[in-house]
């Protein structure tokens, strides 16, 4: 089985919406069923060369290593689910792990957390850096101190300081989101993105994928991206103002959990649920509620538990002197109202382990 043939979500979402079925882009197995890039209307493609779709579990560790997981932000179900995957795999491999995160998705708050973790001299740090630039030099320092770094979810400008960087196909996910909005609005119209902050690798890549796809379709007009600072209330306000300025918006791509929550609130408060189609990244309990209520039409659920599991595999493999794949891309499940209580139920994020 070719482990490098990770599918992007783009083609799969096209299949998912009309069929209203659970569609996972989880590499390997699904890759065999899905159409080849040439056949796929949505452009399902193989993962870039040099990118793998998994990190195999090593043998039980030779000693009880001290691993530390630093989340992008505490209390976010994406990182909680990742933490669950990390804890479970750490227990399997016989190593210890501690988790902490800043109160906001903000490098000025995450850097002190990282600095204090580094001062404790752990064997490895799994981290989702909150900014591609601001977190670079603290991470350089951590690597220079001899600590194995694994980037989980987000990355930095120069990821070579890490033994591995594990993330979803974020750009492909943005493209997939546009394909979904397009299906829901075949006549085209005005669309926009709601994102967190500029400078975050994941959400920037999602916006890029979305923007490029919108601009390639003359039926659609791209109104740009609004930044909500990972705050649902801010996203709701921004959405309300956007709808006042452009009352004919037909679709919004919300690039993460809190952006989707706030976008849904803003659209609901404006009474435009029938008109505005929302596709959101992530699948926390609040997004699922909005999906069931019909405010959100589709969710691109990542595999945070799998990212965490592979992160532990990467750390332990490196600590035991093994070779680790430098770049790993994980899959998606597209959740709609019709599959959320069925085969996609397992893709919903956890609020606790
Ligand atoms: O979308 C995830 C994560 O991938 C992103 O980097 C930041 O936001 C989330 O944690 C969801 O809130």
Query: What CATH fold (topology level) applies to the domain 66-168+303-330?
Result: Rossmann fold (3.40.50)
For the chain, domain boundaries: 66-168+303-330
Ligand 1, atom nearest to 167 Cα:
4
pLDDT tens-digit map of 151-166: 999 999 999 999 999 9
pLDDT tens-digit map of 187-243: 999 999 999 999 999 999 999 999 999 999 999 999 999 999 999 999 999 999 999
- Residue with the two structure tokens 């893709």: 347
Query: Residue 228 has which token pair?
Result: 């909500």
pLDDT for position 25: 52
CB atoms within 10 A of CB 353: 13
Q: Using alpha carbons, select from 163, 257, 176 the residue that is nearest to residue 7.
A: 176
- Average confidence score pLDDT of the chain: 88
| Pocket lining: 290 vs ligand 1, CB cutoff 6 Å | no
Phi, psi of 235 (to 5 degrees): -60, -40
Query: Residue 116 has which token pair?
Result: 């204090």
C-beta of residue 209 within 8 angstroms of C-beta of residue 265: no
107: three-class secondary structure by DSSP = helix
Cα(344) to ligand 1 centroid in Å equals 19
| Pocket lining: 138 vs ligand 1, CB cutoff 6 Å | no
Query: Residue 335 has which token pair?
Result: 């959740």
Residue 99 β-bridge partners: 69
DSSP 57: -
* 49 confidence band (pLDDT: 50, 70, 90): low
Segment 300-321 mean pLDDT: 97
Cα(48) to ligand 1 centroid in Å equals 22
Cα–Cα distance, 70 to 60 (Å, whole number): 23
Cα(94) to ligand 1 centroid in Å equals 28
pLDDT tens-digit map of 50-62: 678 888 888 899 9
Residues 6 or more apart whose CB falls under 8 angstroms from that of 263 comprise: 194, 235, 236, 239, 252, 254, 278, 280
| Pocket lining: 65 vs ligand 1, CB cutoff 6 Å | no
Cα–Cα distance, 342 to 320 (Å, whole number): 41
| Pocket lining: 204 vs ligand 1, CB cutoff 6 Å | no
Phi, psi of 251 (to 5 degrees): -155, 145
C-beta of residue 89 within 8 angstroms of C-beta of residue 121: no
Closest residue CA from atom 8 of ligand 1: 256
| Pocket lining: 154 vs ligand 1, CB cutoff 6 Å | yes
DSSP 32: H
| Pocket lining: 76 vs ligand 1, CB cutoff 6 Å | yes
Cα(28) to ligand 1 centroid in Å equals 24
| Pocket lining: 101 vs ligand 1, CB cutoff 6 Å | no
HSE toward the beta carbon, residue 55, CA cutoff 13 A: 31
Cα–Cα distance, 234 to 191 (Å, whole number): 19
Q: Using alpha carbons, select from 316, 315, 305 the residue that is nearest to residue 347.
A: 305
Pocket of ligand 1, candidates 282, 307, 308: which has the most ligand atoms within 8 Å of its Cβ, to mutate? 282
Pocket of ligand 1, candidates 257, 285, 350: which has the most ligand atoms within 8 Å of its Cβ, to mutate? 257
Phi, psi of 237 (to 5 degrees): -65, -45
pTM of the complete model beyond 0.85: yes
């Amino acid at each position: 089985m070719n482990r490098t043939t990770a599918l992007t979500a783009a083609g799969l979402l096209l299949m998912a919406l009309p069929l209203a079925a659970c569609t996972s882009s989880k590499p390997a197995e699904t890759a065999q069923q899905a159409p080849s890039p040439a056949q796929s209307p949505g452009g399902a493609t193989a993962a870039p060369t040099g990118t793998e779709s998994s990190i195999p579990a090593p043998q039980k560790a030779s000693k009880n290593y001290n691993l530390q997981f630093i989340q992008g932000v505490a209390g976010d179900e994406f990182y909680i689910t990742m933490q669950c995957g990390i804890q479970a795999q750490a227990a399997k491999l016989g190593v210890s792990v501690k988790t902490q995160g800043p109160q906001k998705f903000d490098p000025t708050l995450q850097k002190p957390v990282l600095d204090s973790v580094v001062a404790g001299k752990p064997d490895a740090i799994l981290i989702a850096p909150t900014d591609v630039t601001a977190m670079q030099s603290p991470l350089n320092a951590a690597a220079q101190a001899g600590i194995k770094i694994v980037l989980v979810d987000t990355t930095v400008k120069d990821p070579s300081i890490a033994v591995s960087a594990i993330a979803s196909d974020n750009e492909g996910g943005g493209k997939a989101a546009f394909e979904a909005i397009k299906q829901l609005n075949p006549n085209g119209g005005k669309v926009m993105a709601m994102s967190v902050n500029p400078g975050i690798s994941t959400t920037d890549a999602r916006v890029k994928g979305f923007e490029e796809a919108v601009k390639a379709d003359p039926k659609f007009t791209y109104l740009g991206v609004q930044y909500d600072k990972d705050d649902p209330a801010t996203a709701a306000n921004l959405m309300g103002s956007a709808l006042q300025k452009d009352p004919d918006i037909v679709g919004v791509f919300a690039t993460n959990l809190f952006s989707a929550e706030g976008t849904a609130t803003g659209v609901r408060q404006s009474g435009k649920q029938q008109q505005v189609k929302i596709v959101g990244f992530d699948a926390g309990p609040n997004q699922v509620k909005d999906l069931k209520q019909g405010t959100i039409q589709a969710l691109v659920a990542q595999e945070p538990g799998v990212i965490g599991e592979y992160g532990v595999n990467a750390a332990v493999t490196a600590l035991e002197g093994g070779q680790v794949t430098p770049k790993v891309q994980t899959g998606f499940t597209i959740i709609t109202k019709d599959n959320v209580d069925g085969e996609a139920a397992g893709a919903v994020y956890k609020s606790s382990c």
